[in-house]
Structure 1
Amino acid sequence: MIFAPNAQQAGLENSSQPEEFWLLHKAVDRVLCEPIFKEQPAKGGLLALKCKNFLIIIFEIGDFEACKAAARTIEALSNINGIIHDYAFFYNSPFKTLDDGWTSFDPEQEFGRLLTSTDAFRISSVNENFAVCQSYPEKVIVPKGIGDDYLKISATFRDSARFPVLAYFHKQTRSPLFRCSQPLIGPTNRRCKEDETILNSLITINRGFIIDTRAKNVANSSKAKGGGVEPQGNYRQWRYIHCPIPRQREIHDSLTKMVDVCSERKIASDRYVSRLASSGWLAVVAASIECAANVAQCIAADADEKEVPVVLHGGEGTDTTLIASSLAQIILDSDARTIRGFEAVIEREWICGGHPFSLRNNHSAYAEGTITGPFESPVFLVFLDCVHQLLQQYPLSFEFDEHFLIFLFEHTYASEFGSFLGNSEKEKRDFSVKSKTVSLWSHVHHPENLKQFVNLCYDPRPGVIWPSIAPQSIRVWERLFFRWQRLEKSWSTPESETIQSLADNWKLREKELTMKANALRRNIVELTRELRALS
């Protein structure tokens, strides 16, 4: 960890008193060092730490050689390979674990919660010891009539062995959502009858949809590299839809440009709008929401058309596929919009679903050059920004607020907890993450911590929330991208504090009136019984 004895040295100008400031090495994205006076480097240097959460901290050090030495040390420590060196393995939790996050989302319990109204699926242990697919968990939900031998053969036909598994079941329309990776058709037009049998077993009374998160030309070009799309002739009962979401490199470049635009203190309004558009970040968010909405529409748009299966995939199925599948569940299911339900979606779709958090979040927006690799991409941040857009459009439909989303963003890049460590459940087992670290959900579920994430205006209502992707509806996440430019107090103006106070008071008043109404109903029932007894 990096320690600064004075908060003002760390660029925290709003601190009136000197304070200690601690920063995880893993939170540092890029280190810069330059002399205070270029003509006289002996007079000291400036050490700039650009962090993965977009914070920039500048230290003034009197000795330039010491400044360069500190820069080299911090850069080396922030780029150590291997998750066993992460702070989560050395963190001593100050609170007593009341709800163990490592056991809160047991696969069998999740199976029972998802599938209360059907017996068409089963839990399979085909991936025990991660023998079939290293990025899947050991237990997966598959069609009941399909044997494990078919699953193993299908895995050889799918990229990274990610055969079709159930992600969600919509109880109202009885439509399942399956996710997988692209088929390995290749230039020889390879075929797998076992894979066709698995997908066709999902068809009951209506044709299904195969939704690809890649653009049509990208999907077709991948055929030359061994991938491809399901041939219509072999999957006759399925309709194919392309709902493209930008790829990893595009997402990374968009974030870099977005942070660059938001970091400039003085920029003309017309230039700001044009540069914001050219960054492409909002276009990435809009495309992700559009894809998820299309998935949700195929599943639940027409209540009369039931049992419409949807199979979702992109390339490897570990990035844009997970964005679309998890967002679709939030759109469709009110339970996914509660704190625990949202955690379940993240745990099931992202952590157990095989999103490579360590690879994708090894660096953020500021890193460039030789210290970065081809795998870094803020894919999970795109998902969080999409949820933020839904939260802005439906502010009463979520049990949590945007502070919870920012909290999750912080912990995906650098954390004292182990939930986002590694690239799969297999890596968690190999490095004993669940026995040697504390789960992030254990921290969130503690009553003292949970209350800071609760949306006081939450009004739980079942049903679908259809998002808008009109340009005026997709907004910059200001509290995320501008929070270091504006003091925290400026976010809570007297007007907004008054509105929040009024909202809280009305919420309390509503609860009081509800309690009185329930008491009056009970009195009416008792009086009715007495009258009947007298008559």
Structure 2
Amino acid sequence: MSNKIQVLRRVEDVQVLADGKISTANLVLTSHHLVVIQAFTPPTSQDTSNHQPKPKTKETFIAYPSISQCTFRPTPPASGLSSAIRIRCRDFRFLTLNFTDDRQARDVYETTKCQTCRLGTVEKLYAFSFDAPPPEKAINGWELYDAKAEWRRQGISEKGVDRGWRISKINTDYAFSPTYPALLVVPSSISDNTINYAGRYRSRVRIPALTYLHPVNNCSITRSSQPLAGLRGNRSIQDEKLVSACFSASAQVEDDEPSSQPLSRESPASSLADLGLPTEGDLSDTERLEDEMISSSNLEVLSDKPHVYGAQQHNLIVDARPTVNALAMQAVGLGSENMDHYKFATKAYLGIDNIHVMRDSLAKVIEAIKDSDISTLPPNRELLAKSGWLKHIRGLLDGAALIARQVGIQHSHVLIHCSDGWDRTSQLSALSQLMLDPYYRTIDGFIVLVEKDWLAFGHMFQHRSGFLNSDKWFKTENDALAGSAIQPGGNGEGRGDAIENALLSAKRFFNKSNASQDTVTDSDGEMLSIDEPPKAKRSSGTKETLANKEATKPKETSPVFHQFLDCTYQLLHQYPTRFEFNERFLRRMLYHLYSCQYGTFLYNNEKSRLDARVHERTTSVWSYFLAQRAGFTNKDYDGGEIEDHVRGKERLLFPKLDQTRWWPEIFNRTDAELNGPTNAATERYLGPREDSVGVGHGVLTGVETADRVIPASSIRQPPPNGNQGKLASLREGIVSLGILNSMGGQGGSKSPSNGKEKQPMEVEMQ
């Protein structure tokens, strides 16, 4: 251990239970880590000499922010039992510490609690005192991502108009949208004045902005937050103009203007990783559909120059949320696009659940594996299946594949949003680009992808990861070994009925005068649970307010970035030669998300990192990865030239949804334990999806056109689920609140603007 580490407490001869094994260790509590030091004797060699190997020590560092729960179980001195501390970490390491002295156990518990959730500010985390080793100091990881360089790679420069897009400087001081990057790429036909007005129509001023431009067909992926449509059907001409320009930007390129890469004479559909020359009997449903896409290619060759036709016919607005969530958000002035005003596109609801559902899902996974410290038994597969974790992973992959197909095969533009555009939007945007662009499958490219779509576009790492922890995750009880709620924010009881929550939240909103948006919505832009206590009145200027400003809110934590890494693992496992990085690269990235050893993930957006001067005061996590590049490089990687007609070298790749599996290494389990040869429970709970639309197993819950919502049932009838009745109750409940009357409307379902009867929205629910 380094002499620079401040030691707070030492305890010797502590019994440690980990991986079902008992050992004795010494504990050292430093200012930033709990260190478990164990002595062990290396295995003897075949040498027949009498020389015995010298004992060695193994040091296990547990970063305080990585602790997801710490439970103290005191025992009376005369009982003869050991006082215990049970620790569960966010990298899924579980251990129990048994003490013969209750006072020592209490001191260790209180010290750990103080150093974990009593810091009060991010600037007291390890990153601000970490002294990087020389190999990392030699590499400035902060310089790896340059937004202008990445846009140049995509064919967009700061000078002039390139490929129908320009770099706007409307947000260089972050005054326009504090959670967005300084440089925004927008259609060249749209002025900053129009953008300024359009920003007023999007939640948190997160306008549709470019994140990816396909090098072959010039089709784009843009991302934003939800519109402020509301029950009155508010609209913004500027927003409609901006989205329309995003969906027609490729048409603005002059014919004699060279593109950054030559346009393939064959459809990009021919680059599907699933394609080859199998017999008809060997083709899956997905492969057959992709074959049909190839045969109906929109790319034609005239003379010596290829042209993309029909690129504007299948443009798509992707709302990642379930339709019921989007409908409920209308009650608080938010919602989704009215496609009557976006006739140049269709809309798809992907039905991906929000941060609360994902947090509860991971909590159930941990419940199934939580006894790994005291038992060598395999995890409870029934609980694993009930968690729904693999279903969520598969849904994300399916949604991203839909976007990638629209861009890479259908030659269309896509706009992605969820609620605030920084959780599910980041997942879908980054995953679809990973499927579309081989550059992002390299080590440097993946780092650029994380920097661009997660860090620059404002994923709330600090809120979602809960670096400052919470007192709620530390508890003293007499049955600690029983273990109950172990995931931050999870209570094992679920969120209750979503419909009732939406109605109650909407009623609170409209019964309050001058209520702000934040009083009824969380940072994911959706309804708070009914058990969420009302926010205290804000006081300004007090020390308590400043101290609590950065405190972790358990209900805002969620494994959003973890899910993205899990989805990446699925692609890596299915295509082991297509990625330059290996599985360990992803696993260590999740570890350093919670270690707080580097400054990369500590804040919520680009502006916050700039204000905190993390580039000057901390080390980038990319310095760590690049300094050890060899250890994170995939030995099976085939980084040769892209050849769409050769299997394994295609530009595009798509997930094989039926091969979605558990990531055993991240959960510290063996492959046999999580992905054994037979798992009837998983098959029963995952089962084939019956509400699929389009390709694969499908995640669409409805496709909305300019004229109407096409229910998923018109394509494939889902099993009865009773949700239509709930939606009807939701509509009736909203009307019964008198919302429209309180807003100056006529009540009922008539529009307050023209009194015409509005058609009810048809939706399908998962």
TM-score scaled by length of structure 1: 0.83
1:246 alignment partner, one of 321, 345, 353? 353
Within 1, Cα distance between the matches of 2:211 and 2:138?
Answer: 29
Secondary structure of the residue aligned to 2:216 is coil
Within 2, Cα distance between the matches of 1:6 and 1:21?
Answer: 15
The percentage of counterpart residues that share the same residue type is 27
User: 1:426 maps to what in 2?
Assistant: 607
Within 2, Cα distance between the matches of 1:484 and 1:126?
Answer: 51
1:162 alignment partner, one of 183, 199, 206? 206
Name whichever of 363-372 and 331-340 sits farther off: 363-372
Within 2, Cα distance between the matches of 1:354 and 1:195?
Answer: 21
The answer to whether residue 206 in structure 2 is matched with residue 85 in structure 1 is no
Alpha-carbon RMSD: 2.7
Aligned-pair CA distance for 1:426: 1.2
Render the CA deviation track for 1:310-336: whole Å, top value 9, x for unaligned.
100011101001000000000111111
Match for 1:152: what amino acid?
N
2:139 alignment partner, one of 99, 109, 129? 99
Aligned-pair CA distance for 1:4: 6.8
Within 2, Cα distance between the matches of 1:26 and 1:273?
Answer: 29
The answer to whether residue 401 in structure 2 is matched with residue 309 in structure 1 is no
Secondary structure of the residue aligned to 2:143 is coil
Secondary structure of the residue aligned to 1:355 is coil
1:69 alignment partner, one of 92, 107, 130? 107
Between the two structures, name the one with larger relative contact order (CA 8 Å, sep ≥ 6).
2
Secondary structure of the residue aligned to 1:350 is helix
Aligned-pair CA distance for 1:38: 6.1
Match for 1:413: what amino acid?
Y
Within 2, Cα distance between the matches of 1:246 and 1:159?
Answer: 19
Name whichever of 183-192 and 380-389 sits farther off: 183-192
Name whichever of 363-372 and 456-465 sits farther off: 363-372
Are the aligned partners of 1:27 and 1:413 in contact in 2 as well (CA < 8 Å)? yes
2:662 alignment partner, one of 462, 476, 479? 476
Are the aligned partners of 1:10 and 1:21 in contact in 2 as well (CA < 8 Å)? no
Aligned-pair CA distance for 1:427: 1.1
Render the CA deviation track for 1:220-276: whole Å, top value 9, x for unaligned.
11111111111111111011111121210010011111122133457998x944322
Render the CA deviation track for 1:199-221: whole Å, top value 9, x for unaligned.
11122451321011001121111
The answer to whether residue 441 in structure 2 is matched with residue 262 in structure 1 is no
The answer to whether residue 397 in structure 2 is matched with residue 289 in structure 1 is yes
Aligned-pair CA distance for 1:392: 0.9
Could you say which structure has the higher helix fraction?
1
Where structure 1 has 5 or more consecutive residues not aligned to the other structure, the ranges are 488-535
Render the CA deviation track for 1:458-498: whole Å, top value 9, x for unaligned.
0123411111112xx111111111349999xxxxxxxxxxx
Are the aligned partners of 2:163 and 2:218 in contact in 1 as well (CA < 8 Å)? no
Aligned-pair CA distance for 1:39: 8.1
Aligned-pair CA distance for 1:43: 5.7
1:325 alignment partner, one of 421, 424, 429? 429
Shift in CA distance, 62/326, structure 1 to aligned 2, threshold 3 Å: same
1:459 alignment partner, one of 638, 662, 677? 638
The answer to whether residue 560 in structure 2 is matched with residue 379 in structure 1 is yes
Secondary structure of the residue aligned to 2:316 is strand
Within 2, Cα distance between the matches of 1:59 and 1:484?
Answer: 24
Are the aligned partners of 2:156 and 2:166 in contact in 1 as well (CA < 8 Å)? no
Shift in CA distance, 133/484, structure 1 to aligned 2, threshold 3 Å: farther
Aligned-pair CA distance for 1:110: 0.9
1:189 alignment partner, one of 214, 230, 233? 233
Larger Rg: 2
Are the aligned partners of 1:256 and 1:366 in contact in 2 as well (CA < 8 Å)? yes
Within 1, Cα distance between the matches of 2:459 and 2:80?
Answer: 47
Within 2, Cα distance between the matches of 1:419 and 1:7?
Answer: 37
1:349 alignment partner, one of 446, 453, 458? 453
The answer to whether residue 407 in structure 2 is matched with residue 221 in structure 1 is no
Within 2, Cα distance between the matches of 1:99 and 1:145?
Answer: 40
Match for 1:48: what amino acid?
R
Shift in CA distance, 452/267, structure 1 to aligned 2, threshold 3 Å: closer
Within 2, Cα distance between the matches of 1:4 and 1:451?
Answer: 36
Aligned-pair CA distance for 1:29: 1.9
Within 2, Cα distance between the matches of 1:484 and 1:72?
Answer: 34
User: 1:300 maps to what in 2?
Assistant: 408
Secondary structure of the residue aligned to 1:128 is coil
Match for 1:28: what amino acid?
I
2:487 alignment partner, one of 346, 349, 366? 366
Aligned-pair CA distance for 1:21: 3.6
Aligned-pair CA distance for 1:10: 5.1
User: 2:584 maps to what in 1?
Assistant: 403
Are the aligned partners of 1:293 and 1:328 in contact in 2 as well (CA < 8 Å)? yes
Aligned-pair CA distance for 1:168: 0.6
